[in-house]
């Protein structure tokens, strides 16, 4: 796996996230030399659906994509549903696409991409129940372990984390992608 020394990676989430979809990519970013930052609309700490708690580093209302090299969006139904209704979170996600920076999304985390209008003409995967929503937002949805499309990395479930983590690091190491836009 490549090194991403010095890369700053935002993890956007709130309560109800899928625990391993935060902890596994977070550890991978650290192991490969990057610096992860937990960004959330919630203050204090967040709690996953299986009980993992983690301190919030930065409120999404004051966060700027300018300060990060990449974004990771863990899944979890409750997490994803709450984030897509938060205007600051949607704007934060959209800014990564506007700046052509890598975005890695797993499971239900892809929901917010529809609200950020970042799916037209993009190829990705997700938890199968999101298929119709993502297709209706303009995406080509496929059922594959991991999909990479111009800096957008997507996977379906925690079972896909090894492949997801490897491609996430690869795309972060490559940096900006001209095709990563909305």
The residues annotated with a catalytic role in the active site are 108
CA separation for the pair 100, 61 (Å, rounded): 21
Which tokens belong to 169?
């690091």
Within 10 angstroms of residue 110's Cβ, the number of other Cβ atoms is 31
Within 10 angstroms of residue 75's Cβ, the number of other Cβ atoms is 28
Nearest 10 degrees: Cα torsion 12, 97, 155, 115: 70
CB neighbour list of residue 180: distance below 8 Å, 6 or more residues apart: 96, 97, 100, 101, 102, 103, 150, 151, 152
Which tokens belong to 182?
């909305």
């Amino acid at each position: 796996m490549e090194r991403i020394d010095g890369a700053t990676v935002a993890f956007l989430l709130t309560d109800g996230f899928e625990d391993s979809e935060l902890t596994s990519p977070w550890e991978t970013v650290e192991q490969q030399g990057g610096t992860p930052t937990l960004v959330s609309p919630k203050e204090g700490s967040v709690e996953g659906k299986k009980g993992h708690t983690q301190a919030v580093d930065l409120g999404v209302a004051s966060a700027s994509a300018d300060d990060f090299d990449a974004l990771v969006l863990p899944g979890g139904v409750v997490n994803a549903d709450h984030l897509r209704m938060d205007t600051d979170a949607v704007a934060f996600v959209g800014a990564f696409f506007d700046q052509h920076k890598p975005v890695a999304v797993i499971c239900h985390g892809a929901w917010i991409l529809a609200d950020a209008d970042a799916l037209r003409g993009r190829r990705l995967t997700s938890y199968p129940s999101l298929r119709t929503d993502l297709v209706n937002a303009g995406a080509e949805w496929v059922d594959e372990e991991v999909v990479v499309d111009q800096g957008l990395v997507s996977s379906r479930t925690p079972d896909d984390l090894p492949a997801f983590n490897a491609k996430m690091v690869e795309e972060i190491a490559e940096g900006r992608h001209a095709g990563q836009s909305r």
